[in-house]
Amino acid sequence: MIVIITTIQLLFIFGVEMYVKYYFTIKEVPFCYDGTITIEGNTSSPLTFYYAPTEDRLLFWLGDHRARHNLQPVIDSPDLSTYNFERYDYLLFSGRKLKRLYYSPYLTDQNDECHYLEETPLMTDLEEASLDSMYIYRIDKTTEFRAPCP
């Protein structure tokens, strides 16, 4: 009887430990720099982070960025033939370069306002860069991630 109780206690402790490790541990997401899109003129825009899993979404975000900052079509349109949307999802950052990309359930609960969405929001560490550029990064194709909600 004592052996069964001890085994159950050990399994419980192991389960709690694994949950805590899963919940609080930051998981890195590998990414690759894919290019820069130049924006003519000074946009002086706040950081913008777009998640583009499809070609249509990439073009939409570029158009949305133009509209938000009253830009004429002065963003150099990227050559879409160089993008592989079947294998990669793309991330666009306005004015800053990506230093680190990660996620964790704890940070999601603390920082994300869209708990009703199934995808996991990506968190970022950024470094200063040129304000007249959009930086494009790629990650492996997945339906698991999204950009964070405000």
Confidence of residue 71 (pLDDT cuts 50, 70, 90): low
Range of the domain at 57: 27-146
Percent of the chain at pLDDT exceeding 70: 79
Number of C-beta neighbours around residue 103 at 10 A? 19
Rounded average pLDDT over 127-141: 83
Evaluate whether 110 touches 75 at the Cβ level (below 8 Å): no
Question: In this model, does residue 43 exceed pLDDT 60?
Answer: no
* Residue 122 resides in a domain: yes
Evaluate whether 136 touches 89 at the Cβ level (below 8 Å): no
DSSP code at position 91 = E
pLDDT for residue 41: 59
User: What's the CA dihedral at 51, 85, 119, 27 to 10 degrees?
Assistant: -80
* Residue 4 resides in a domain: no
- 3-30 tens-digit pLDDT: 566 778 777 787 778 877 878 888 999 9
* Residue 106 resides in a domain: yes
pLDDT for residue 139: 94
Q: Please give the radius of gyration of the chain, using alpha carbons only, rounded to the nearest integer.
A: 20
* Residue 3 resides in a domain: no
* Residue 117 resides in a domain: yes
Strand pairing partners for 28? 102
* Residue 15 resides in a domain: no
* Residue 8 resides in a domain: no
* Residue 21 resides in a domain: no
Strand pairing partners for 22? none
pLDDT for residue 128: 76
Domain count, the chain: 1
Higher pLDDT, 102 or 24: 102
